[in-house]
Amino acid sequence: SNIIIINGPNLNLLGVREKGIYGDQDFHSYFETLRQSYDGVTLTYFQSNHEGAIIDKIHEVGFSVDGIVLNAGAYTHTSLAISDAIAAVTAPVVEVHISNVYARESFRHHSYLAKNCKGVICGFGLNGYRLAIESLLTK
């Protein structure tokens, strides 16, 4: 299988930003561990702080990969354009949030993306990415 993780804005600062909420592990070290634990799964990673770049990536991979794990960060709560991109492609998308967005500010309770996703995983820390991959591998 071919699965891509797409991280949106500010997620390049994992391990540095708001550690009480997002933990102290940087994504690159987590990703390496994750990658090595899946034999026969091609796992790739893309991060951008730019809405259009995330949309371009979804278009680029969304007709060929077996699944997209997407943490769009704050764009989750604002972006109809990313929502439309998810609807446009054929690959299933799983929405992930590291934090439990429902235990936080009310503006984080609504997702523009969720209705076009296979499902949503939130509140399990970085392990949410693994759970999302598992859900894509279980057909």
What residues form the annotated binding site for substrate? 71, 77, 84, 98-99, 108
CA–CA distance, 29 with 20 (Å, rounded to integer): 19
The residue (of 74 and 88) whose beta carbon lies closer to ligand DQA is: 74
Q: By Cβ distance, which residue is nearest to ligand DQA? A: 73
Contact 87, 114 (CB under 8 A): no
Per-residue contact flags (x/-) with ligand DQA for residues 55 to 84, judged by CB under 6 A: ----------------x-xx-x--------
Q: In what order do the strands lie in the sheet with 119-122?
A: 42-47, 2-7, 67-71, 93-97, 119-122
Site for ligand DQA in 90-119 (CB under 6 A): 97-99, 101, 108
The residue (of 43 and 47) whose beta carbon lies closer to ligand DQA is: 47
**Residue 8: which of 84, 85, 97 has the closest Cα?**
97
Smallest distance, Å, CB 72 to ligand DQA? 7
Three-state secondary-structure class, residue 68: strand
Phi, psi (rounded to 5 degrees) for 18: 25, 65
* Active-site hit among 45, 50, 59, 97: 97
Whether 75 is a known active-site residue: answer no
Angle at 6 between CA 59 and CA 38, to 5 degrees: 115
Whether 22 is a known active-site residue: answer yes
The residue (of 1 and 23) whose beta carbon lies closer to ligand DQA is: 23
Q: What residues are annotated to the active site?
A: 22, 97
The residue ranges that bind ligand DQA (CB under 6 A) are 10, 71, 73-74, 76, 97-99, 101, 108
